[in-house]
Amino acid sequence: MFRGIAVALVSAVLLTGCATMGQQSNAPAATLVSDTHATASLRTLPPPRQPLDVAVYEFADLTGQARPNPNFAESSRAVTQGGAQILVDVLTRAGDGQWFRIAERTGLRNLVQERTLIENTNSAYGGVGPLPPIRFAGIILEGGIVGYDADTMSGGAGARYFGIGADTEYRSDTVTVNLRAVSVQNGEVLASTTTTKQIYSYMNRAGAYVFAEPQRLLEIEAGMARNDPTQLAVREAIELAVFSLVVEGLERGLWDLRDSSAKATLVAAYNQQYTAPVQ
């Protein structure tokens, strides 16, 4: 019986190895970033009465957290350092691009340098005239990745009988994002929101230690692990933060929808889906 089980496990390992080699030799093509659980809510926002002119200077990793590693000290950061780029990309998709007009600020030096080059060239050799002024923003979006907690939940289960068994391990980390809207006119914080997202990882393993023949011990192992991409978790937290900021501004009368009658429905749906009841 044990020999039959061992043969079955060997076959599984060989098939897994062949499949892995096939995947390596036929790697999938590049794709667009996958939608998250918050993408649909953000993309289907009703259109605003008028778009908001906003600017994003930075959206930094404020955690200082290195990537968790139980074996040695990591120098790599636990979360993406491109938070501002993700936030700008998310803003361009809010309400199918109808909610925000985004003034470029993360690459402002490059923009000003290129405009200066054009103006100097026009002045020296003649051209089409002065450039139009750079768009300015009425609202600055501030904030950042403010928390990364590793191993907020971990555990596993397994069993082994006569050298044959399997086990499962899982771990959950949590990333926290803060986003706030600041008025350029007077520096007042108009609205602020904080969101969190779990990053889930698990590993399944199976193995066997059996005597295939007298005095010959056969050891077989197979396994699979899955780790949620950290950048997608950060993106989902940012998407929810933008959606939450829009709804909070609607509730406070900071901005309005083109169809004002849709506000009550949107706020009620937001509160039902995302606002947890007080325990």
**DSSP-derived pairing of the beta strands 164-183 and 216-227:** unpaired
* Proportion of the chain in helix, strand, coil states, percent, rounded to 5: 35, 35, 30
Check pLDDT > 80 for residue 27. no
12 band by pLDDT with thresholds 50, 70 and 90 = low
- Say how many domains are in the chain: 1
Q: Which residue has the higher pLDDT, 203 or 91?
A: 91
pLDDT of 128 reads 73
pLDDT of 251 reads 93
pLDDT of 267 reads 92
CA dist 126 to 35, 112, 115, 123, 130, Å? 48, 20, 15, 6, 10
Q: Which residue has the higher pLDDT, 67 or 28?
A: 28
Other residues' Cβ atoms within 10 Å of the Cβ of residue 182: 19
**Region 213-222 average pLDDT:** 79
pTM for the model stands at: 0.82
- 8 found inside a domain: no
Compute the distance between CA of residue 272 and CA of residue 178 in angstroms, rounded to an integer: 21
Structural domain containing residue 198: 35-271
Check pLDDT > 80 for residue 2. no
CB distance 120 to 126 below 8 Å: no
Check pLDDT > 90 for residue 156. no
- 3 found inside a domain: no
What rounded mean pLDDT belongs to the chain?
85
Compute the distance between CA of residue 79 and CA of residue 231 in angstroms, rounded to an integer: 7
Compute the distance between CA of residue 234 and CA of residue 86 in angstroms, rounded to an integer: 9
pLDDT of 70 reads 61
- 51 found inside a domain: yes
CB distance 234 to 254 below 8 Å: no
Compute the distance between CA of residue 266 and CA of residue 255 in angstroms, rounded to an integer: 14
Q: Which residue has the higher pLDDT, 136 or 163?
A: 136
97 band by pLDDT with thresholds 50, 70 and 90 = very high
Give the three-class secondary structure for 97: helix
**CATH assignment of the domain containing 141:** 3.40.50.10610
pLDDT of 253 reads 93
Query: Pick from 142, 150, 140, 141: which is nearest to 233 by CA?
Result: 150
Compute the distance between CA of residue 241 and CA of residue 152 in angstroms, rounded to an integer: 22
- 276 found inside a domain: no
- 21 found inside a domain: no
pLDDT of 88 reads 96
Q: Which residue has the higher pLDDT, 70 or 210?
A: 210
Strand partners, 154: 171
CA dist 174 to 65, 150, 153, Å? 12, 7, 9
Copy the structure tokens of residue 237: 């937290």
Copy the structure tokens of residue 58: 């930075």
Give the three-class secondary structure for 50: coil
23 band by pLDDT with thresholds 50, 70 and 90 = low
CB distance 211 to 218 below 8 Å: yes
Q: Which residue has the higher pLDDT, 150 or 86?
A: 86
pLDDT of 20 reads 54
- 28 found inside a domain: no
Among 47-61, 90-104, 217-231, 235-249, the minimum mean pLDDT is found in: 217-231
pLDDT of 5 reads 52
First to last CA, the chain: 54
Compute the distance between CA of residue 9 and CA of residue 218 in angstroms, rounded to an integer: 11
- 7 found inside a domain: no
Residue whose structure tokens are 């003034």: 103
- 217 found inside a domain: yes
Query: Pick from 29, 14, 31, 79: which is nearest to 230 by CA?
Result: 79
Compute the distance between CA of residue 13 and CA of residue 19 in angstroms, rounded to an integer: 10
> 101: which residues sit within 8 A by CB, 6+ positions away?
51, 52, 53, 54, 135
CB distance 42 to 94 below 8 Å: yes
**Region 82-94 average pLDDT:** 95
